Structure 1
Amino acid sequence: MAHGIQRKLALAMFIGMTAMGLAACEEEGPAEKAGENVDQAMDEAGENIDESMDKAGETVEEMGDSVEQAADEADSEY
C-alpha cells in the first residue's frame, strides 16, 4: 500500500513540475528578449549582405559590359 502512495505522489510531483515548466515557458525573460533581438539583428544583417552582394554583382556586370563595349569600339576602329 505504501508503494501505491509513493507512486501517486511521484506522479503528482511530475505533473506539477511539468505544469510549472510550461508556465515558465510562457513568460519571456530578458534572455529570451535578448535572443530574439540577436536573431532579428542577424536576419537584418543577412538581408543587408544579400542586397550588397546583388548591387556589387550588378556593378561588376555593368563594368564588364562597358569593357566589352570599349573593346568592340576599339576593334571596329582598326
Structure 2
Amino acid sequence: MKIKTLGSALMIAMLGFAGLSLAGCDDKGPMEKAGEKMDNSVENAGDSIESAGDDVQDAADS
C-alpha cells in the first residue's frame, strides 16, 4: 500500500510543477526546459513505481 501512496504523491508533485510552469512566460528558457525534463523523469518514475506495485500485488494475489 505504501508503494501506491508514494506513486500518488509523485503524481501530485508532478501536477504542481506542471501548473507552475504554465504560469510563467511563453518563452522557455534553459531552466524551464530543465524543469520539464525533471517533471517527465518524476512522472516516469512514479509510473514505474506504480507498475511495480501492481505487479507485486498481482503476484501476492496469485
TM-score by length of 2: 0.54
Q: Which structure would you say has the larger Rg?
A: 1
| Alignment-derived partner of residue 62 in structure 1 | 51
| Alignment-derived partner of residue 33 in structure 2 | 44
1:53 maps to 2:42:
yes
- Runs of 4+ deviating beyond 6 Å: none
Inter-partner Cα distance in structure 2 for 1:60 and 1:53: 10
State percent identity of aligned pairs: 43
TM-score by length of 1: 0.43
| Letter in structure 2 aligned against 1:58 | D
| Alignment-derived partner of residue 4 in structure 1 | none
Q: Point out where structure 1 has 5 or more consecutive residues left out of the alignment.
A: 1-38, 74-78
Alignment RMSD, CA only?
A: 1.2
Count of residue correspondences = 35
